[in-house]
Amino acid sequence: MSTLEWAAALASALGVWLTGQRLVVCWPVLVVASVLYGMVFVQAALYADAALQGVFVALSLYGWWQWLCGARAEGQVRVACLPTAGQLWGHMGGAGLAGIGLALALRHWTDDPTPIGDALLSAYSILAQFWGALRYRLSWVLWGVVDAFYTLLFVERGLWVTAVLYAGFVVLAFRGWQKWGQVQ
């Protein structure tokens, strides 16, 4: 449990909590968290997750812009309508295919001991982050599922602080789902 892992965990927890509160300031906090976790994951040979942090930086900048456009006068963002069923399944299928492609690449070019899990979790994390940027309430459900599986992966890798953090993210995802359902 390095100081770097602790800093990344604290920044991530703060960013997710701020997201649940629908406050635009969540996005710059999430940028910092992603940079820190990128370094943690490189050290742990979780290469897809390290690359994912770069994608999260880009998606956080996109989310920041999207949320600034969707902010209410009190500073909280409006929750957007859910995508259609066709969009929902198209996004889920596309993320699955991207995850399989990434898994094949990881298996061929890296020493990642769990390329399929690492890749699929990365792909669905990107989708959850994208949905969050678009202010879809459904992003919280996807985050809850992804974070539950990440918790297991981080326990397997001995990243105990991160495993506890991700278990906490499951709780925060449930809370975010509840809070975002209370507003329209």
Q: Tens of pLDDT along 91-135?
A: 999 999 999 999 999 899 988 888 899 899 999 999 999 999 988
Q: What is the pLDDT of residues 137-167, one digit of tens each?
A: 999 999 999 999 999 998 988 889 889 999 9
Residue 55 has pLDDT above 70, yes or no: yes
184 has a pLDDT exceeding 60: no
- Dihedral of the CA atoms 89, 94, 96, 98 (nearest 10)? -170
Per-residue model confidence (pLDDT) at position 80: 81
Give the separation between CA 60 and CA 145, rounded to whole angstroms. Answer: 20
Q: Does residue 52 or residue 126 have the better pLDDT?
A: 126
Q: Which two three-digit tokens encode residue 40?
A: 């943690």
Q: Give tens-digit pLDDT for 4-37.
A: 989 998 999 999 999 999 888 999 999 999 999 9
More confident residue, 49 or 116: 116
Residue 182: pLDDT band with limits 50, 70, 90? confident
183 pLDDT above the threshold of 70 = no
